[in-house]
Structures are given as structure tokens and as C-alpha cells.
């Protein structure tokens, strides 16, 4: 069963605008971590932000914030003030404690920032 779902294959955003990339997850494990990665065309995976299942507050890292809604099992990434360099693939991932902290990745969202 798909544990991480990203329903937006492609997104466009105007430069300097904010954009939300959707991610929903499926687990009954009370202990898990949620992660977002950026993958530019060069291929490397760049870690952006982390949210633990026990964290009370939404995570923020610079222009990135994670909108964590535990009851809805969603962990959307918000990028504020988009820049041209934000154009890339974005992957949502989850690690589960009861499976030895394996990482499960979504199918990704391709973001294009328009000048």
C-alpha cells in the first residue's frame, strides 16, 4: 500500500509568490518522521525540512515551512517568496520506527518557477 501520496505531478508558481506542495501519508504507527527533499536537474537529493510525529509546532526552515495536520495525515510543504532556483522535483518522505526507520518516498512533484 502506498504510504506517501503526492497528488500533484507538476506545479507552476510565479516568482516571489508562495506555493504549497501536497503530501499525505498513511500509517498507524504513533512514532514517525516526515521529510521533504529537493532534487534539482543535477540529480542530488537536498534535505529541506523535518517534522516529527510528536512535534507540537509546525517545522520551519528559512523560506520552507511544513503544514503538519496530524488528524488529516497531511504534511504539506510551503515555499514562500519563490525563486527561480526553486525549480526542481520535490519529494515527501516518511520514516517509521516500527519498520526500523526505513524511508518511504512519494512520487514527487515537479515545481517550475516562472519569471
Partner 1 sequence: EADIYQTPRYLVIGTGKKITLECSQTMGHDKMYWYQQDPGMELHLIHYSYGVNSTEKGDLSSESTVSRIRTEHFPLTLESARPSHTSQYLCASSGTRDRWGTTEAFFGQGTRLTVV
Q: Which residues are CB-contacts of 71 (< 8 A; sequence separation ≥ 6)? A: none
CB of 108 to partner 1, least distance (A): 6
Give the binding-site size for partner 1 (rule: CB under 8 A): 25
64 or 103: whose CB is closer to partner 1?
A: 103
Pairing of strands 109-114, 10-14: parallel
Report the nearest approach of partner 1 to the CB of residue 16 (Å): 26
How far, in Å, CA of 108 to CA of 102, rounded?
Answer: 18
Q: Is 77 exposed, middle or buried, given 0-12, 13-18 or 19+ CB atoms closer than 10 A?
A: buried
**Of the candidate residues 21, 25, 33, 59, the single one contacting partner 1 (CB under 8 A):** 33
Pairwise CA distance, residues 72 & 58, whole Å: 14
Per rule CB under 8 A, is residue 110 in the interface with partner 1?
A: yes
C-alpha cell at 61: 526552515
By the rule CB under 8 A, 68 interacts with partner 1? no
Only segment of 20-28, 65-73, 75-83, 98-106 that touches partner 1 (CB under 8 A): 98-106
Binding interface with partner 1 (CB under 8 A)? 31-33, 35, 37, 43-45, 47, 50, 52, 89, 91, 93, 95, 97, 100-103, 105-108, 110
Amino acid at each position: 500500500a502506498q504510504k506517501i501520496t503526492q497528488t500533484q505531478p507538476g506545479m507552476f508558481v510565479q516568482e516571489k509568490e508562495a506555493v504549497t506542495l501536497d503530501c499525505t501519508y498513511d500509517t498507524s504507527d504513533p512514532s514517525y518522521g516526515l521529510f521533504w527533499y529537493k532534487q534539482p536537474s543535477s540529480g542530488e537529493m537536498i534535505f529541506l525540512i523535518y517534522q516529527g510525529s510528536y512535534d507540537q509546532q509546525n517545522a520551519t526552515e528559512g523560506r520552507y515551512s511544513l503544514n503538519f495536520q496530524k488528524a488529516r495525515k497531511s504534511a504539506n510543504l510551503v515555499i514562500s517568496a519563490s525563486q527561480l532556483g526553486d525549480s526542481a522535483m520535490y519529494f515527501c518522505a516518511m520514516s517509521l520506527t516500527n519498520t526500523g526507520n526505513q524511508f518511504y518516498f512519494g512520487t514527487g512533484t515537479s515545481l517550475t518557477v516562472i519569471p
